């Protein structure tokens, strides 16, 4: 994979203008928070409003206590009722602060979990609407990866926004109190905090730029971490001795990131210490000013403690507000990644007035000069392809790897759309039909079907998930695909957990998995069934039996079969031989053998291998 270059890093750099622009994501994020749970969001705001005034109240009550103690010492007055009432009031305020803080933490935690869950669900739902070709694009994967990383971290942003709201109110209340005694303290406060804010903001931008520019490399690190310790790759890692290769590559790439990140962290810590020193010096300058005023009799000792405490709180509060603002700006940049992902729209979608899919296909499918080229590719995967698939016909696709067979079936299922030409269904362009209904009526089992780490029942029901509780349909589909014999040998039957990931699960052989996958095609009960080499793990006899059974069970429906075994292919009604994405030959097995062309040549070549 490509490593970051200077030009790349430069392109990824973000400045304060980018952060300000990213703040536009805050309003929709606040709406997301409110919509997730208005009760919890409103409760958090109310609690923070109550908390915001408490620091100033506690400081002022402390001032009154000190002044009252000094008065009692000077006057030798034994009336301490007011003193103890003030102490009791301070205790109540302290307890209220603790209780409100704990309640706020609880509500924020619950709300954070809900937002994380909702964001994860939204990402999955949105990803399901996007086009297949988008998932095959590396740039799209980078965007999706950045969006995924925001699901947990954006809960932190919510807490920061609410804390910023609370801190701002606290700072305003403290500021009004301090100005009433000494306005110059506000000027010193600004001098103490602003430089530190600028420094913090600068390094937040640098951190974001580094994280964003290394998205592909972090994906590679995750991949290396996966293949280095996975049950899927364990056999080949051991057999081929890949452990050192994988770990060394991971170590090299991770150390490169570490060194860049270390340099940034060291510079951030150094400048942070410098500006922190300036802040401390400024605070003690203000402290000297307050002490001088007290010694000169301009303010009381209680006022000294109030101003010293208020200034310290304001300094810390303003620093936190500005630092948090920089952090919010940084998180808003990440948040923008999340909303940018949601802005990605599919190209394959329903048109304005889409037609319902026919309850029963009458004529069939027609390819008219169809060409398809993958985004960014120079050559066409399918080129000027024309043929007819009449309803009720079993069509076999034949050709060498890369001939365009899988691309063709994806066009039929409208996972792709033609670059040029058109596909007709009952005389109408396939794009005119409702997309969801079209796909409901097309059942596809690919060679690389997914092995879900779920129960047998769920693995079959994914073919038509609304039938997950229909035991009769599931068992009937298993009988049709010959998976019933596999299930009979499992200790948990249809409730047996499959795979190796979870405790109590049992893995299957490749052939057994393929029978489970075939059951998905049967339970779908679609008008067009497509089998894209789903029986490659079966031996020739088993594959023949599966396809023979398949042919008997789908009578009256249309089917497309892809297989490299010509003994199976010959069972089809029509065979389409593809070469370089173009139609080379088409006809029945007998007709193509009589033609004595490319199909006949390969058929005899394969048959000779069985002699």
pLDDT digits over 154-168, tens only?
667 788 888 888 888
Query: Between the CA atoms of 359, 365, 366 and 367, what dihedral angle is there, to the nearest 10 degrees?
Result: 120
Residue 68 reports pLDDT greater than 50: yes
Residue 313 reports pLDDT greater than 70: yes
Between strands 574-579 and 582-587, the pairing is antiparallel
Residue 540 reports pLDDT greater than 70: no
Query: Over 520-544, what HEC string results?
Result: HHHHHCCCEEEEECCCCCCCHHHHH
Query: Between the CA atoms of 518, 524, 527 and 530, what dihedral angle is there, to the nearest 10 degrees?
Result: -30
Q: Which residue has the higher pLDDT, 188 or 34?
A: 34
pTM of the model: 0.66
Q: Which residue has the higher pLDDT, 474 or 29?
A: 474
For residues 511-525, average pLDDT: 86
What is the tens place of the pLDDT at every residue in 422-462?
A: 999 999 999 999 998 998 898 888 877 888 889 999 999 98
Residue 610 reports pLDDT greater than 60: no
Q: What band does 124 get if pLDDT is binned at 50, 70 and 90?
A: confident
How many percent of the chain have pLDDT more than 70?
86
For the beta carbon of residue 365, count every other beta carbon within 10 angstroms: 21
Residue 608 reports pLDDT greater than 60: yes
Residue 109 reports pLDDT greater than 80: yes
Residue 475's pLDDT is 93
Dihedral pair phi/psi, residue 421, rounded to 5°: 80, -170
Residue 9's pLDDT is 39
Distance of CA 121 to the CA centre of its chain: 9
Which region among 314-328, 540-554, 593-607 has the lowest average model confidence (pLDDT)?
Answer: 540-554
What is the tens place of the pLDDT at every residue in 355-409?
A: 999 989 999 999 999 999 988 788 999 999 999 999 989 999 998 888 899 899 9
From CA 217, how far away is CA 220, in angstroms rounded?
Answer: 5
Q: What band does 234 get if pLDDT is binned at 50, 70 and 90?
A: confident
Query: Between the CA atoms of 358, 359, 362 and 363, what dihedral angle is there, to the nearest 10 degrees?
Result: 40
For residues 312-325, average pLDDT: 74
For residues 555-562, average pLDDT: 84
Q: Which residue has the higher pLDDT, 94 or 285?
A: 94
Q: Which residue has the higher pLDDT, 72 or 153?
A: 72
Between strands 382-390 and 364-372, the pairing is antiparallel
Residue 198 burial (10 A CB sphere; 0-12, 13-18, 19+):
middle
Residue 13 reports pLDDT greater than 50: no
Which region among 184-198, 345-359, 401-415, 425-439 has the lowest average model confidence (pLDDT)?
Answer: 184-198
Q: How far is CA 169 from CA 65, 173, 182, in A?
A: 25, 6, 20
Residue 486 reports pLDDT greater than 50: yes
Residue 538 reports pLDDT greater than 70: no
Q: Which residue has the higher pLDDT, 232 or 345?
A: 345
For residues 311-332, average pLDDT: 74
392: left (phi over 0), alpha (psi -120 to 50) or beta: left
Which region among 62-76, 253-267, 315-329, 395-409 has the lowest average model confidence (pLDDT)?
Answer: 315-329
Q: Do the beta carbons of residue 389 and residue 413 sit within 8 Å?
A: no
Element (H, E) at 447: none
Residue 188's pLDDT is 67
From CA 383, how far away is CA 402, in angstroms rounded?
Answer: 13
Mean pLDDT of the chain: 82
Q: Do the beta carbons of residue 52 and residue 169 sit within 8 Å?
A: yes
Q: Which residue has the higher pLDDT, 417 or 608?
A: 417
Which region among 59-63, 94-98, 99-103, 294-298 has the lowest average model confidence (pLDDT)?
Answer: 294-298
Q: Which residue has the higher pLDDT, 385 or 281?
A: 385
Residue 5's pLDDT is 42
DSSP 119: H
Residue 488's pLDDT is 94
- Rg (alpha carbons) of the chain, rounded to whole number: 35
What is the tens place of the pLDDT at every residue in 21-67?
A: 667 778 888 888 899 899 999 999 899 888 888 888 888 888 888 88
DSSP 464: G
């Amino acid at each position: 994979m490509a490593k970051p270059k200077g030009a790349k890093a430069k392109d990824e750099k973000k400045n304060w203008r980018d952060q300000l622009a990213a703040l536009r994501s805050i309003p929709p994020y606040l709406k997301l928070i409110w919509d997730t749970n208005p009760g919890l969001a409103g409760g958090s705001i109310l609690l923070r409003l109550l908390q915001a005034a408490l620091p100033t109240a506690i400081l002022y009550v402390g001032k009154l206590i000190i002044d009252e103690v000094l008065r009692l010492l000077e006057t030798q007055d034994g009336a301490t009722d007011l003193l103890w009432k003030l102490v009791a009031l301070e205790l109540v305020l302290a307890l209220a602060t603790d209780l409100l803080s704990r309640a706020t933490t609880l509500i924020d935690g619950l709300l954070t979990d809900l937002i994380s869950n909702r964001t994860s669900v939204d990402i999955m739902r949105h990803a399901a609407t996007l086009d297949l070709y988008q998932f095959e694009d590396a740039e799209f994967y980078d965007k999706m990866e950045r969006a995924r990383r925001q699901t947990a971290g954006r809960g932190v942003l919510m807490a920061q926004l609410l804390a910023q709201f609370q801190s701002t109110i606290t700072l305003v209340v403290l500021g009004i109190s301090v100005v009433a005694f000494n306005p110059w303290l506000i000027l010193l406060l600004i001098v103490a905090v602003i430089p530190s804010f600028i420094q913090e903001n600068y390094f937040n931008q640098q951190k974001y730029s580094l994280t964003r520019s290394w998205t592909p490399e972090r994906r590679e690190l995750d991949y290396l971490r996966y293949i280095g310790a996975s049950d899927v790759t364990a056999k080949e890692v051991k057999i081929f001795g890949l452990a050192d290769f994988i770990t060394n590559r991971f170590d090299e790439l991770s150390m490169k990131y570490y060194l860049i990140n270390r340099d940034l962290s060291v510079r951030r810590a150094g400048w942070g210490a410098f500006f922190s020193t300036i802040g401390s010096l400024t605070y003690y300058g203000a402290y000297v000013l307050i002490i001088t005023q007290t010694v000169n009799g301009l303010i009381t000792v209680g006022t000294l403690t109030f101003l010293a405490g208020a200034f310290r709180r304001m300094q810390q509060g303003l620093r936190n507000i500005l630092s948090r603002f920089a952090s919010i700006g940084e998180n808003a940049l990440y948040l923008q990644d999340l909303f940018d992902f949601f802005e990605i729209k599919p190209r394959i979608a329903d048109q304005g007035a889409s037609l319902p899919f026919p309850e029963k296909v009458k004529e069939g499918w027609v390819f008219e000069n169809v060409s398809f080229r993958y985004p960014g590719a120079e050559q066409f995967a399918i080129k000027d392809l024309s043929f007819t698939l009449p309803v009720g016909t079993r069509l076999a696709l034949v050709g060498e790897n890369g001939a365009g067979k899988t691309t063709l079936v994806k066009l039929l299922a409208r996972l792709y759309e033609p670059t040029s030409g058109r596909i007709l269904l009952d005389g109408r362009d396939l794009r005119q039909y409702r997309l969801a209904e079209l796909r409901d009526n097309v059942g596809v089992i690919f060679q690389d079907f997914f092995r879900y780490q779920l129960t047998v029942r769920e693995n079959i029901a994914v073919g038509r998930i609304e039938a997950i509780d229909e035991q009769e349909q599931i068992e009937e589909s298993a009988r049709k695909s010959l998976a019933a014999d596999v299930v009979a040998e499992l200790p948990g039957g249809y409730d047996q957990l499959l795979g190796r990931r979870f405790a109590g699960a049992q893995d299957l052989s490749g052939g057994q998995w393929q029978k489970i996958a075939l059951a998905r095609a049967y339970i779908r009960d679609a008008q067009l069934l497509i089998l894209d080499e789903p029986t490659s793990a079966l031996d020739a006899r088993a594959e023949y039996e599966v396809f023979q059974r398949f042919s008997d069970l789908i009578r009256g429906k249309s089917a497309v079969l892809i297989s490299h075994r010509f003994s199976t292919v010959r069972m089809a009604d029509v065979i389409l031989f593809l070469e370089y994405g173009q139609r080379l030959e088409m006809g029945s097995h007998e007709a193509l053998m009589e033609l004595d062309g490319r199909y006949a040549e390969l058929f005899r070549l394969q048959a000779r291998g069985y002699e």
